[in-house]
């Protein structure tokens, strides 16, 4: 198994490299200038601008900037004063030597910035994901056991409608209902901004109150999609021969449903989890925007305009790496759950 994991990780290296090239050149070819907003001040002289750009290595040719990003520029001497004579050594070590660069916006190492936003996104994303799994399993199995009943039809229609909703609609509806309208009527309104009350004590209870609405919006849509999937998988399994065998052996319906059927129906769900769970790291761009949740999605949007290349590169590569690792994990879990699958 160690060999399997190692081989898969080595296979992922060209993939990550490919993504790095794609994003690095894609970003810069679109004409984005990372320090544009720093140099709009008319009091800054031309020489200062040149020096500022040089400090970030932006005067070098694009391919050389990529090399510097990758392996660092401490071996490279560049012209900072604009007189055509190289006069200063670079200070960066490059991604391959563990230096992920500095955020232009925050003037701090990218790892520090990401470390500040990532936990917030994990709190939001993982609680929403856990709730999604819990509810969609329950709803999906219930609907499958009562196929074409009134309950099944209601669940199906509801999940179709919810699934078709853009998330900003649910989110804004929630804000309108539970904050604006509740406040108007003097009811206990739910907070819709940030993670904690500004003057609050930053307690767990405060955090949970702030979590309710964004988690509800995020999970509502995913529950709709997931429960449809669980229902379909469950139906497929319930019609299999071994379920009939189990029934003819006289096993209880409860045992058939939860041990024989659900275990096999959850195999494809594992694949789905493996696809979606790593994407939690990316945060929920739209939801975090609406609820001002200081997570990865908000960080990403901030880093787009004005562009903050180091942050975006680490952001994208972090997610891609998580995707790769999660795929490997899925394969291992699969081999464990299904004895027919071998490495």
Partner 1 sequence: MTPITATPSRSLAVVQVSEPSQVTSPGQIMLRRFLRHRMAVVGLILLTIILVFVIGGALIFSESYANQLALGEKFKPPSLNHLFGTDSVGRDVFARMIWGGQISLMIGIVSVVISIIVGTLVGLISGYVGGWVGSLLMRLTDALLSIPTLVLLLLFSRSLVGNTSTLVILGREFSASVIAIVLIIGLLNWMRLAHIVRAQVLTLKEQEFTTAAIAVGARQTRIIFQHVLPNCLAPIIVNATLGIGSAIVTEAYLSFLGFGVLQPTATWGNILTGAQARLAEVPWVWFFPGIFIILTVLAINFIGDGLRDAFDPRSHH
239-278 binders of partner 1 (CB under 8 A): none
Q: Exactly one of 139, 234, 312, 314 binds partner 1 (CB under 8 A); which one?
A: 312
Q: Exactly one of 175, 213, 237, 277 binds partner 1 (CB under 8 A); which one?
A: 175
7-66 binders of partner 1 (CB under 8 A): 14-15, 18-19, 22-23, 26-27, 30-32
For partner 1, the closer CB: 80 or 155: 155
Span of 65-73, 79-87, 241-249, 303-311 interacting with partner 1 by CB under 8 A: 303-311
Closest CA to 135 of 67, 52, 63, 225: 225
* Nearest approach, Cβ of residue 259 and partner 1 (Å): 26
Q: How is residue 163 written in tokens?
A: 């699934």
Q: Exactly one of 95, 124, 282, 314 binds partner 1 (CB under 8 A); which one?
A: 282
Between CA 128 and CA 217 the distance in angstroms is 9
* Nearest approach, Cβ of residue 164 and partner 1 (Å): 4
**Residue 317 burial (C-beta neighbours within 10 Å; 0-12, 13-18, 19+):** middle
CB atoms within 10 A of CB 325: 16
Per-residue string for binding with partner 1, 155-174, x by CB under 8 A? -----xx-xxxxxxx--xx-
> 150 to each of 136, 156, 278, how far by Cα in Å?
18, 10, 36
For partner 1, the closer CB: 180 or 259: 180
Q: Does 286 bind partner 1 (CB under 8 A)?
A: yes
For partner 1, the closer CB: 1 or 29: 29
Q: Exactly one of 104, 218, 269, 320 binds partner 1 (CB under 8 A); which one?
A: 320
Q: Which residue has the tokens 């999604």?
A: 132
Span of 71-79, 104-112, 260-268, 310-318 interacting with partner 1 by CB under 8 A: 310-318
For partner 1, the closer CB: 58 or 285: 285
Q: Does 113 bind partner 1 (CB under 8 A)?
A: no
* Nearest approach, Cβ of residue 146 and partner 1 (Å): 16
CA dihedral 247, 250, 254, 260 (to 10 degrees): -50
> 337 to each of 240, 268, 271, how far by Cα in Å?
18, 11, 12
* Nearest approach, Cβ of residue 81 and partner 1 (Å): 32
For partner 1, the closer CB: 20 or 80: 20
Q: What is the number of residues in the chain? A: 343
* Nearest approach, Cβ of residue 176 and partner 1 (Å): 6
Cis peptide bond prior to 306, omega within 30° of 0: yes
* Nearest approach, Cβ of residue 139 and partner 1 (Å): 18
Question: Which sign, positive or negative, has the C-alpha torsion 19, 123, 135, 260?
Answer: positive
| Whether the Cβ atoms of residue 1 and residue 320 lie closer than 8 Å to each other | no
Q: Does 318 bind partner 1 (CB under 8 A)?
A: no
Between CA 104 and CA 324 the distance in angstroms is 29
* Nearest approach, Cβ of residue 15 and partner 1 (Å): 6
Compute how many residues bind partner 1; rule: CB under 8 A: 43
Alpha helices in the chain, H assignment, sequence order: 2-29, 46-55, 62-71, 110-145, 150-163, 167-174, 182-184, 204-238, 241-248, 253-255, 262-276, 285-290, 296-302, 309-337
Q: Which residues bind partner 1 (CB under 8 A)?
A: 14-15, 18-19, 22-23, 26-27, 30-32, 160-161, 163-169, 172-173, 175-176, 179-180, 279, 282, 285-286, 289, 300-301, 304-305, 307, 312, 315-316, 319-320, 323-324
């Amino acid at each position: 198994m160690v060999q399997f994991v190692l081989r898969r990780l080595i296979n992922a290296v060209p993939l990550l490299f490919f993504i790095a090239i794609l994003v690095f050149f894609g970003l810069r070819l679109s004409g984005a200038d990372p320090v544009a907003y720093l140099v709009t001040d008319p009091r800054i002289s031309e020489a200062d601008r040149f020096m500022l750009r040089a400090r970030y290595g932006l005067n070098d040719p694009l391919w050389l900037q990529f090399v510097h990003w990758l392996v660092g520029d401490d071996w490279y001497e560049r012209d900072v004063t604009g007189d055509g004579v190289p006069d200063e050594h670079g200070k960066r070590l490059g991604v391959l030597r563990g230096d992920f660069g500095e955020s232009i916006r925050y003037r701090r190492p990218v790892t520090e910035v990401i470390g500040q936003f990532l936990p917030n996104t994990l709190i939001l994303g993982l609680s929403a994901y856990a709730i999604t799994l819990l509810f969609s399993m329950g709803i999906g199995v219930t609907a499958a056991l009562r196929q074409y009943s009134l309950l099944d039809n209601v669940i199906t229609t509801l999940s179709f409608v919810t699934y078709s909703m853009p998330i900003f609609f649910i989110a804004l509806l929630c804000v309108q209902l539970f904050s604006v309208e509740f406040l108007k009527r003097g009811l206990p309104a739910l907070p819709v901004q940030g993670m904690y009350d500004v003057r609050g004590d930053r307690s767990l209870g405060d955090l949970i109150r702030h979590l309710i609405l964004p988690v509800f919006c995020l999970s509502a849509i995913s529950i709709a999609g997931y429960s449809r999937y669980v229902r379909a998988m469950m139906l497929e399994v319930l019609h299999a021969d071994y379920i009939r065998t189990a029934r003819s052996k006289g096993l209880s319906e409860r045992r058939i449903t939860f041990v024989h059927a659900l275990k096999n129906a959850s195999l494809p769900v594992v694949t789905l989890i493996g696809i979606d769970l790593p994407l939690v790291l990316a945060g929920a761009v739209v939801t975090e925007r609406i609820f001002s949740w200081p997570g990865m999605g908000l960080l990403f949007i901030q880093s787009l305009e004005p562009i903050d290349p180091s942050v975006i590169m680490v952001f994208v590569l972090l997610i891609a790496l998580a995707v790769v690792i999660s795929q490997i994990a899925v394969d291992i879990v699969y081999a464990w759950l299904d004895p027919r699958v071998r490495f």
